[in-house]
Amino acid sequence: MRIVFSGAGPATILATGLLIKKNHEVIIIDTSKEKIDTLSEKMDCSFLHGDASKPAILKEVNPKNCDFLFCLTDCDEVNIITSLLGRSLGFKRVVTSIENTELEEMCREIGLKDVVIPARSISRHIENMVEELEDIELSNFLKGEARLLSFIAGNEEAGAVSELDLPEDAKCIYYYRDEKFYLMDEQTRIKKGDEIVVVTHVDNLSELNKRWDSTQTNGG
């Protein structure tokens, strides 16, 4: 795969090292020439000096031939702008990192479907450590052709879960409402704004992604 990172921070550097070992092509864009010069001596990938939120810079990586754009600078606003630009230029998938959780809903509303909040992930890990709960790798359970997909319920999804008309080998398993976790059952009624998590066969992902294109995220 051809993968582009906006921002040469610690997460980008660590991820790039792993991706290179798996023979993926990586391009890192950063505004710091000094940082690029230093990293280019250590890492076997491509670098581009400039601001990825500027069309002229992002076009240089040939977006339509790229599989991922990860927007990982330390500025939420820059990441959001870069993500919107990347989507319009034709990146197959765009991932947006934000620190301010208040921006999450706005990102969903403007169609940024893959939103990552590092602080939330870290806080949940800390909570599990304090409560002596074990963090379990998702890959231990999503084996073979099983995948997870989540989406934010809109007006069309509000109502009985049985009315969602999912494929035969797909099932709603849990949801979040007001930051609280609930298991699904046949009597569950979905409300607008609920985050619904579905387990499904990998063959259904394309169809379901198109159905919930503006809100979904994938796992596995």
Rounded distance between C-alpha atoms, residue 95 and residue 102, angstroms:
17
* Residue 7 located in a structural domain: yes
Q: Are residues 164 and 79 in the same domain?
A: no
Query: 21 and 57 in one domain?
Result: yes
The two structure tokens encoding residue 206: 């394309």
How far is it, in rounded angstroms, from Cα 48 to Cα 6? 10
**pLDDT tens-digit series, residues 144-160:** 778 888 888 888 899 99
Global confidence as pTM: 0.65
What domain range is 175 assigned to? 138-219
Q: How far is residue 122's CA from residue 129's CA, in Å, rounded to a whole number?
A: 11
Say yes or no: 114 and 194 in one domain: no
| Total domains in the fold of the chain | 2
The reply to whether 14 and 105 lie within a common domain is yes
Q: List the CATH number of the domain containing 215.
A: 3.30.70.1450
Task: Tell me the per-residue pLDDT of 82-94, one tens digit each, with 9 for 90 and over.
Answer: 999 999 999 999 9
Residue 128 lies in a domain: no
